[in-house]
């Protein structure tokens, strides 16, 4: 494989590796959102359920409690929080987004492995070009969801941390 073609394919591989990690990080983000909204809603609703069983307090102690802890305010307020958290889980669908990003990461991983095979196998120039076109077509056909800029940059940092890729776009001749 010619050096400029190899560098181009390695640049593609770096980009794909970056997107693979970006989607993995995005999947983890949505998984944490799902976990924490679910746990929070469960914990607060359990507290509400048991709040009717709290021991009675004398009127002096009750008056000294902060406003938020008084039962005539606490139960409606906490119930509203549970409703909001539950609504967020239904509206945002973090569990579905977790799976969508996991699948996108897997697609990028498969594509990266295809590139690894092309780079490490001694194909004829025609066969190499054919394989590269197949990879290009497969990449173009992917329709992954968007990732947050933060996770995109984390994916980029992770891919660069391997110190295996040439500088970005190094396969292009500098035009001055």
DSSP character at residue 53:
T
Q: How many CA atoms lie within 13 A of 63 on its CB side?
A: 3
List the structure tokens of 9. Answer: 């394919």
- Per mean pLDDT, which range of 26-35, 53-62, 104-113, 117-126 is the poorest? 53-62
Asked whether residue 175 is assigned to any structural domain, the reply reads no
A 10 A CB-CB count for 135 gives 20
Confidence class for position 176, pLDDT limits 50, 70, 90: very low
Residue 166 lies in a domain: no
The pLDDT, as a whole number, for residue 54 is 63
pLDDT at 174: 63
- The pLDDT assigned to 64 comes to 81
Q: In the predicted model, what is the mean pLDDT of residues 37-61? A: 82
List, in sequence order, every beta strand (DSSP E) within 25-136. Answer: none
pLDDT at 72: 74
Is the model's pLDDT at 139 over the cut of 90? Answer: yes
Number of folded domains in the chain? 1
Inside any domain, residue 9: yes
Alpha-carbon span 45 to 4, nearest angstrom = 61
Specify if 128 maps to a domain: yes
Q: Is residue 9 scored above 60 in pLDDT?
A: yes
Residue 171 located in a structural domain: no
Structural element, H or E, at residue 174? none
115 in any annotated domain:
yes
Full residue range of the structural domain in which residue 110 is found: 3-161
What pTM was estimated for this model as a whole? 0.82
Please tell me the predicted confidence (pLDDT) of residue 48: 84
> Per the domain annotation, does 168 fall within a domain?
no
Is residue 73, in this structure, part of any structural domain at all? yes
CB neighbour class for 22 (10 Å; exposed up to 12, middle 13-18, buried from 19): buried
Burial class, 85, CB count within 10 angstroms (exposed 0-12 / middle 13-18 / buried 19+): buried
Which residue's structure tokens are 């004398």?
Answer: 58
Please tell me the predicted confidence (pLDDT) of residue 53: 62
């Amino acid at each position: 494989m010619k050096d400029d073609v190899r560098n181009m394919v390695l640049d593609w591989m770096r980009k794909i590796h970056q997107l693979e990690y970006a989607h993995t990080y995005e999947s983890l983000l949505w998984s944490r959102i799902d976990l924490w909204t679910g746990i929070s809603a469960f914990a607060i609703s359990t507290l509400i359920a048991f709040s009717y069983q709290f021991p009675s307090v004398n009127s002096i102690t009750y008056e000294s409690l902060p406003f938020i802890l008084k039962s005539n305010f606490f139960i409606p307020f906490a119930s509203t929080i549970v409703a909001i958290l539950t609504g967020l889980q239904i509206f945002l669908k973090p569990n579905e987004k977790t799976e969508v990003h996991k699948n996108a990461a897997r697609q990028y991983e498969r594509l990266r492995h295809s590139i690894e095979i092309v780079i490490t196998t001694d194909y004829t120039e025609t066969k190499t070009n054919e394989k590269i076109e197949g990879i290009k077509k497969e990449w173009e056909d992917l329709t992954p969801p968007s990732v947050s800029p933060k996770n995109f940059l984390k994916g980029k940092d992770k891919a660069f941390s391997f110190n295996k890729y040439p500088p970005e776009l190094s396969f292009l001749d500098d035009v001055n």
